[in-house]
Structures are given as structure tokens and as C-alpha cells.
């Protein structure tokens, strides 16, 4: 699988991961659990490791922790979650709860979800990073309306990661945030790569354009992800899925050629 370098450390990170919003919010005895286990097994078998979650995602953190217990110790997942509450002590309690649910006392990435009370949480996160309880710090948001605030926070403190929205139909991050992340030495995780699912639903019955064959893509999902990964500032994309077949189509984006400048213009010209 394609890998990208985390600027603050030089560590290589697989460019395709999985998001857990909605699809992983199930009970421990839900029949869908076996499908989610297959999703993670498929991701890992292809060289992926990034799993992104949040306390905001219902039972997702606990499900991820449960699934990882049923999987081999290697390869090790890259576990990212978030803090999403106000107050220093409340943030500490929530982050400790996330560690418990995820089954790990050392997390790879802790992010401030939607920038909520970030000034307090960065103090705790920086201390935990120094202590070795977390490896990286980050901030997140998911909508263009928050980009001005996100830019301000990116400039206000030293972060390892920023997570933001970016897709073929939502290119606002190209205006400033992606270049700023490169300038600030921040890795970029892209959420909502399919426009929250609406883009895929819109295109699923449309024939693939000729450019898909050029880029070795058999599905719209892979083609849309290759558009995102063609931007050099992007480190990893985290489409959400609970379907192993969809996971396999997603993973196709991590192999073969990425669009060159001329092909990107052709993709951007598609009627979405």
C-alpha cells in the first residue's frame, strides 16, 4: 500500500485507513460484528493500519477494542481517537475512558474533536505525549464553515496532525488548509472523502469515466480516493465502512498510479 510520511516524526503511515462513525456503533452481540471484523482484517491484510474513532461515535470505541482483541497482535494498528468535552478534568476522564474502551494504555493519536475546548486539552495532550501515553496530537473538523477557525488553531499551537473534510465535490481545503498543513509540518487525515456518503450514492449508477482505467480503478470509490491522495499534503484518508466488499474497493486506491496534473484537471471537470 501507498504510504506517506508523518512530518513531525518521519514515520511512514499507510495512506488508507477506516473511519468508525455510524458503522461501528453497534452492540457487542450484534450480528454485524463479524462483518466489521472482516473489514479490519481486510484493511490489515492490504497493509493498512489506521483506525479512527471518537467518543462522539456511540459504542464505536468499545467495538474497535473488542475486535482488536480477536485479531493477531501484528501488524499493530494505528489507533486514533478524540476528546470531545469541555473542561480539563472532564477531558482527562474521557481520554482515559477511551483508552479503556480501546484496550490500550498508549494511543497513537489523540485529537481534539471539532476544536472543542482545545486550549485546555492541548495542555493535557502535550503532557501525555511527553509521558509516552500518546504518540501524536491533533485537531479535527468536518465542514468548510469551520475552516477559518481551523486555520487559526493550526497556527496557534504545535500539532502533529490535522483532520479535515476534502473530496472531489468539497475542495475548500485546497484554498489554504492543505498548504498550511505542509508549511506547519502537520500530517493530514481526510474525513468525508465521499461527501458523507452522498457522492457515492450519487455516482453508483453512473458509468465509470475512461480515466478510471488509466488509474487502475474498477470503482468510483477508488477513483474518488485517488483524487484526494494525489494532493501531496494528504497523509491518509479514512472512509467509513462496515462492508468488507466496500473495504476491498476502497483499498484499490492505495495501489497503482495516482493522477498527474492533467488527469486531475479531467477529474475536476467531471459533472458531480
State the CB neighbour count (10 A cutoff) for residue 63: 26
For residue range 49-79, list pLDDT tens digits in order. 999 999 999 999 999 999 999 999 899 999 9
Distance between CA atoms of residues 172 and 14, nearest Å: 24
Work out the angle at residue 98's Cα, subtended by the Cα atoms of residues 94 and 102, and round it to the nearest 5 degrees.
Answer: 175
200-234: string of b/e by CB count within 10 Å (b at 16+)? Answer: beebeeeeeeebbeebebebbbbbbbbbbbbbebb
What total of structural domains would you count in the chain? 1
Query: Which of 51, 112, 54 minimizes the C-alpha distance to 78?
Result: 51
Report the distance separating Cα 102 and Cα 181, nearest Å. 28
Q: What is the pLDDT of residues 237-253, one digit of tens each?
A: 999 999 999 999 999 99
Cα–Cα distance, 162 to 236 (Å, whole number): 11
Q: Residue 271 has what pLDDT?
A: 62
Instruction: Reduce the DSSP state of residue 48 to 3 states and report it.
Output: coil
Please say if the pLDDT value at position 272 is more than 90. Answer: no
Per-residue pLDDT for 270 more than 90?
no
C-alpha cell at 258: 495516482
Asked if 215 and 266 count as a contact pair (C-beta separation under 8 A), the reply is no
* Residue 97 grid coordinates: 475512558
CATH of residue 204's domain is: 3.20.20.100
pLDDT value for 5: 98
Domain span holding position 56: 3-268
Amino acid at each position: 500500500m501507498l504510504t506517506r510520511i508523518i512530518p513531525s516524526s518521519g514515520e511512514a503511515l499507510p495512506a488508507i485507513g477506516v473511519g468508525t462513525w455510524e458503522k461501528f456503533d453497534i452492540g457487542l452481540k450484534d450480528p454485524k460484528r463479524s462483518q466489521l471484523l472482516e473489514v479490519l482484517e481486510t484493511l490489515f491484510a492490504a497493509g493498512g493500519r489506521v483506525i479512527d474513532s471518537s467518543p462522539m461515535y456511540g459504542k464505536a470505541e468499545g467495538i474497535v477494542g473488542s475486535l482488536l482483541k480477536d485479531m493477531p497482535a501484528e501488524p499493530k494498528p494505528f489507533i486514533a481517537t478524540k476528546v470531545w468535552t469541555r473542561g480539563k478534568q472532564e477531558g482527562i476522564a474521557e481520554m482515559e475512558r477511551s483508552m479503556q474502551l480501546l484496550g490500550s494504555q498508549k494511543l497513537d493519536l489523540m485529537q481534539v474533536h471539532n476544536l472543542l475546548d482545545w486550549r485546555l486539552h492541548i495542555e493535557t495532550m502535550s503532557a501525555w505525549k511527553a509521558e509516552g501515553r500518546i504518540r501524536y496530537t491533533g485537531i479535527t473538523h468536518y465542514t468548510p464553515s469551520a475552516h477559518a477557525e481551523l486555520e487559526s488553531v493550526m497556527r496557534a499551537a504545535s500539532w502533529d496532525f490535522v483532520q479535515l473534510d476534502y473530496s472531489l465535490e468539497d475542495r475548500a481545503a485546497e484554498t489554504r488548509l492543505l498548504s498550511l498543513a505542509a508549511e506547519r509540518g502537520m500530517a493530514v487525515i481526510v474525513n468525508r472523502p465521499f461527501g458523507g456518503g452522498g457522492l457515492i450514492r450519487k455516482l453508483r449508477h453512473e458509468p465509470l469515466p475512461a480515466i478510471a482505467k488509466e488509474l487502475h480503478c474498477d470503482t468510483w470509490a477508488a477513483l474518488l480516493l485517488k483524487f484526494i491522495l494525489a494532493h501531496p499534503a494528504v497523509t491518509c484518508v479514512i472512509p467509513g465502512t462496515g462492508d468488507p466488499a466496500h473495504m476491498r474497493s476502497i483499498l484499490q486506491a492505495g495501489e497503482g498510479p495516482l493522477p498527474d496534473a492533467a488527469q486531475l484537471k479531467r477529474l475536476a471537470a467531471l459533472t458531480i
